[in-house]
Chains A and B, each alone.
Chain A
């Protein structure tokens, strides 16, 4: 799955740094952190924060896709009588949780973006 790069958001205050820090901590949980700039917070004024966020979101969605494929395959095997019910439950629960994690991170990022866009005098 290819995710188009999200343009870098200029660093304008705490809203973005909070969003980036959350994104970075989620990424390290998913084992997908690659030089996330969230730790440096508001001082990350270069375009790096934008590209690393898109990498993180892309990796998260790749991982989500793999979880869902695994859950689908196990469900098919269970329907054919070849899979352990516990394994199917675990796979589908994890796919569900991962979907919630990715959408939560996406919502937080959109909130951060919107809160910046709303700062019009």
Chain B
């Protein structure tokens, strides 16, 4: 029962994961390491349609979390304690502008799914309140 609400809920869950990865990317974009050490890799949600065995739609799900490049970008900062002999520090590849754009999109998508949930609830309630 209540399929529309379940489907909108799956969308909101995926959007939540999306927002979480954006938060992680922004929080870790300044994680400098000595060049050659493992650097933080940006995370990106790969979402796909969730289909039931009979072929009907069942919302959306996170297929996988893809990661950005393992090779960071080097910046010259000789006073940094983790700088190497030539004064370079390696930072993760995170495009802040892209992350902010994704944040707006994910927020709008979350609101859209929330609106579907709200309107589906109204629709179900209207059918329940029919008087004989």
Query: How many residues of chain B are within 8 Å of chain A by beta carbon?
Result: 17
Total inter-chain residue pairs, C-beta < 8 Å: 47
Is the CB of B98 closer than 8 A to any CB of chain A? no
Q: In the docked arrangement, what's the CA distance between A94 and B12, Å?
A: 16
Q: In the docked arrangement, what's the CA distance between A6 and B9, Å?
A: 37
* CB-CB nearest in chain B for A100: B128
Given A29-B1, A30-B1, decide whether A89 and B9 contact each other with a Cβ distance below 8 A: yes
Given A87-B9, A100-B128, A101-B128, decide whether A94 and B1 contact each other with a Cβ distance below 8 A: yes
Are B2 and A97 in touch, CB under 8 angstroms? yes
Q: In the docked arrangement, what's the CA distance between A102 and B117, Å?
A: 21
Please list the residues of chain B having a beta carbon within 8 angstroms of any beta carbon in chain A.
Answer: 1-2, 5-6, 8-9, 12-13, 16, 113, 117, 121, 124-125, 128-129, 132
Please list the residues of chain A having a beta carbon within 8 angstroms of any beta carbon in chain B.
Answer: 18, 29-31, 84-87, 89-90, 93-94, 96-98, 100-101, 104, 108, 111
